[in-house]
């Protein structure tokens, strides 16, 4: 897909007013939840309703049905989970919607956190049977920290689950946000007949399409017809709707954007029911791009000079060419193909010739893009995650945090004859953030140390090194459980300590590895002034 635009063909003709108008047409959102709540399925269903797909896939590869577009990696298809964030760009009601599908598993939380720095709002998916699960609560904490407005979607209403009012109580008690349902289910969980649209009072009755790969059939009717068709189920939904209104649970846009309320929708994403209303909400409710603060605390206005921040890199999207794509969220100004920008970290100028928009693993060249859009820079190998690209070269956004690793293993190739593939694979997986590769003079580069937030990251390394880089590897556990960043003086002190190892990352940072937190505290106590910088807690 190409980036949608109403602007003139020549970027030099685009005025600040036109940039603001185009930014106003953009919505950039992430989908978050606990694993297996249906994030990728919902993203797929949104794409189907936006007519970006003719058929929806399925995360578990049901016979005769394709996998979802956002889970394009072989390992994702095999395990039925997202291990890396993915982007799709949709067009709906003359608006451009950029959706970032994030991993739900805690082991990939660093990838999810980075994706949340690139969006303006989130869809928080809640399983109708399991409610607010552990990882959903943690990710909500990140949204609260960043002030990202939250749209709540209660999914899997076509399966047995809890009562709707009970789920609303849990959402409010966990998040502190007042739920303001926009749709209300007719029929209990497991007997999903349709939705009461609270804004209009209309009833939308659904009939699932065969196989669930296409849009469900919708029959829209007024209240008088609904009571004839659904009887007591409609009356119960109507009574609960009145109760919600009596308690002030009606949507207020200002309260939502101020992070005090959360609109709620009910869906069965795998059956493509209730999803159209969620898609409409991204136009009607979700915020458009707004000024972002740079490292100096100054807001960069949306209609200013071009700036974008890289939040992710990915290799292997095109196996035929083994290229690398750097994903950048445009913060301000207009991108036009062929423009020259500077990287704030290196100061290097670069001409943006090969830039693409992304739809899962599919890509197409983009000529013009605006604030809110996510663009992919092809083979920009000197760009790192967190870098700011800007036209003037003077803008820098706050760096993306590094999560505290808790798992450490050495890695080596099983066949020394593929040393080149081994080094290339680790270098690219490190750049993506799959793991962090650490080296030292004492260990050499033939058996580096991998640090990870969760052990599943090592499974990803094992799989991709074997299947993408043709260099099978073996691991060995190390007796460390925590890490700090130190400086050269600190490294000199720490190298003399037992139970501590100092290694270097490719970005020049020095990581000190410790057996446990008790060891860290003891060394800090005995060495006042020692530089030991804590990383972002994994439990955020």
CATH number, position 340: 2.40.30.10
Domain shared by 298 and 222, yes or no = no
**Domain-ending residue, one of 390, 416, 451:** 390
Neighbours of 269 (CB within 10 A): 28
299/356 same-domain check: yes
**Whether residue 353 is found in the same domain as residue 457:** no
Going by pLDDT thresholds of 50, 70 and 90, the confidence category of residue 434 is: confident
Distance (Å, whole) CA 277 – CA 15: 34
Domain-ending residue, one of 250, 284, 318? 284
Q: How far apart are CA 226 and CA 205, in angstroms?
A: 9
Structure tokens at 12: 């030099």
Asked if residue 428 is part of any domain, the answer here is: yes
Is residue 515 in a domain?
yes
89 in a domain, yes or no? no
User: What percentage of the chain exceeds 70 in pLDDT?
Assistant: 89
Asked whether residue 187 falls in the same domain as residue 234, the answer is yes
Q: State the pLDDT confidence band at 101, using cuts at 50, 70 and 90.
A: confident
- Residue 431 has a pLDDT of 83
- Provide the domain count of the chain: 3
Does 104 carry a binding-site annotation? yes
pTM (2 d.p.): 0.85
Q: Are residues 434 and 492 in the same domain?
A: yes
Q: ∠ CA 124-82-80 to the nearest 5 degrees?
A: 110
Residues 271 and 307 grouped into a single domain: no
Report CA 76 to chain centroid distance, whole Å.
15
Examine the fold and report which residue of 333, 364, 390 is the final residue of a domain before the chain moves on.
390
pLDDT at 196 over 90: yes
Range of the domain at 359: 292-390
Average pLDDT over residues 219-225: 94
- Please give the Cα distance from 257 to 244 (Å, whole number): 20
Beta-bridge partners for 357:
364
pLDDT band at 299 (very low <50, low <70, confident <90, very high): very high
As given in the structure block, the two tokens for residue 325 are: 């794509």
* Dist CA 523 CA 368 (whole Å): 54
Residue 79: pLDDT above 60? no
Q: What pLDDT, on a 0 to 100 scale, did the predictor assign at position 361? A: 63
In CATH, what number is assigned to the domain containing residue 78? 3.40.50.300
- Tell me whether residue 531 is in a domain: no
Same domain as 280, residue 229: yes
Nearest to 357 by CA among 388, 330, 381: 330
| Largest Cα span, the chain | 81
The mean per-residue pLDDT over the stretch 278-284 comes to: 97
The verdict on residue 532 lying in a domain is: no
Considering the domain architecture, whether residues 337 and 276 belong to the same structural domain is answered as: no
Q: Has residue 91 been placed in a domain?
A: no
Residue 312 sits in the same domain as residue 269? no
Q: Is 387 annotated as a binding residue?
A: no
Looking at the fold, whether 359 and 432 belong to one and the same domain comes out as: no
* pLDDT value for 68: 46
Same domain, 265 and 337: no
In a domain, 139, yes or no: yes
What is the reported pLDDT for 72?
41
pLDDT at 56 over 70: no
* In contact, 302 and 23? CB cutoff 8 Å: yes
Task: State yes or no: 102 annotated in a binding site.
Answer: yes
Query: Would you list the DSSP string of 388-408?
Result: EEESSS---PPPPPPBPP-EE
| More confident site: 101 or 83 | 101
Neighbours of 54 (CB within 10 A): 8
108, 71 Cβ separation under 8 angstroms: no
185: β partners? 195
Q: Would you say residue 315 lies in a domain?
A: yes
**DSSP helix/strand/coil, 467:** helix
**Dihedral angle at the C-alpha atoms of 184, 288, 32, 327, nearest 10 degrees?**
150
Average pLDDT, the chain: 87
The residue ranges of DSSP E strands in 162-283, in sequence order, are 178-181, 183-186, 194-197, 202-207, 217-221, 261-266
Same domain, 262 and 297: no
């Amino acid at each position: 897909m190409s980036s949608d635009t109403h602007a003139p063909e020549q970027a030099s003709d685009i005025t600040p007013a036109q940039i603001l108008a185009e930014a106003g047409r953009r919505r950039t959102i992430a989908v978050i939840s606990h694993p297996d709540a249906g994030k990728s399925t919902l993203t797929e269903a949104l794409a189907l309703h936006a007519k970006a797909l003719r058929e929806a896939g399925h995360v578990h590869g049901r016979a005769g049905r394709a996998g979802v577009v956002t889970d394009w990696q072989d390992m994702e298809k095999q395990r039925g989970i997202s291990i890396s964030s993915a982007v799709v760009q949709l067009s709906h009601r003359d608006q451009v919607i950029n959706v970032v599908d994030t991993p739900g598993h805690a082991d990939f939380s660093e990838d999810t956190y980075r994706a949340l720095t690139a969006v303006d709002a989130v869809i928080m998916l809640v399983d109708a049977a399991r409610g607010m699960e552990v990882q959903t609560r943690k990710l909500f904490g990140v949204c609260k920290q960043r002030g990202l407005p939250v749209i709540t979607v209660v999914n899997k209403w076509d399966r047995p689950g809890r009562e709707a009012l009970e789920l609303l109580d849990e959402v409010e008690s966990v998040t502190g946000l007042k739920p303001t349902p926009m749709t209300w289910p007719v029929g209990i969980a497991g007997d999903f007949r349709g939705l009461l649209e609270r804004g209009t009072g209309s009833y939308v009755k659904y009939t699932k399409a065969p196989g669930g790969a296409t849009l469900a059939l919708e029959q829209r009717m007024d209240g008088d017809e609904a009571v004839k068709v659904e009887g007591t189920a409609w009356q119960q939904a109507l009574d609960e709707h009145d109760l919600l209104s009596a308690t002030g649970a009606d949507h207020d846009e200002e309260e939502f954007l101020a992070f005090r309320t959360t609109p709620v929708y009910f869906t069965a994403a795998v059956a493509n029911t209730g999803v159209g209303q969620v898609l409409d909400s991204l136009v009607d409710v979700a915020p458009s791009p707004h000024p972002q603060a740079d490292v100096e605390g100054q807001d960069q206005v949306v209609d200013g000079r071009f700036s974008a921040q890289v939040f992710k890199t990915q290799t292997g999207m095109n196996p035929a060419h083994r290229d690398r794509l750097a994903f950048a969220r445009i913060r301000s100004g207009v991108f036009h193909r062929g423009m020259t920008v500077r990287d704030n970290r290196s100061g290097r100028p670069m001409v943006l010739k090969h830039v693409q928009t992304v739809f899962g693993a599919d890509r197409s060249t983009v000529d013009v893009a605006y604030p809110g859009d996510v663009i992919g820079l092809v083979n920009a190998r000197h760009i790192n995650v967190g870098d700011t690209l800007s036209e003037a070269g003077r803008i820098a956004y706050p760096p993306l945090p590094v999560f505290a690793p808790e798992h450490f293993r050495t890695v080596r190739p099983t066949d020394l004859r593929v040393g080149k593939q081994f080094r290339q694979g680790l270098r690219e997986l490190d750049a993506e953030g799959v793991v962090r590769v650490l080296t030292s003079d004492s260990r050499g580069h033939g058996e580096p140390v991998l640090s990870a937030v969760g052990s599943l990251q090592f499974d990803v390394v094992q799989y991709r090194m074997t299947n993408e880089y043709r260099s099978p590897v073996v691991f060995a556990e190390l007796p460390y459980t925590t890490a700090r960043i130190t400086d050269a003086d600190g490294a000199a002190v720490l190298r003399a300590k037992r139970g501590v190892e100092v290694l270097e990352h490719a970005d020049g940072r020095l990581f000190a590895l410790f057996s446990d937190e008790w060891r860290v505290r003891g060394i800090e106590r005995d060495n006042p002034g020692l530089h030991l910088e804590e990383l972002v807690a994994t439990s955020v």
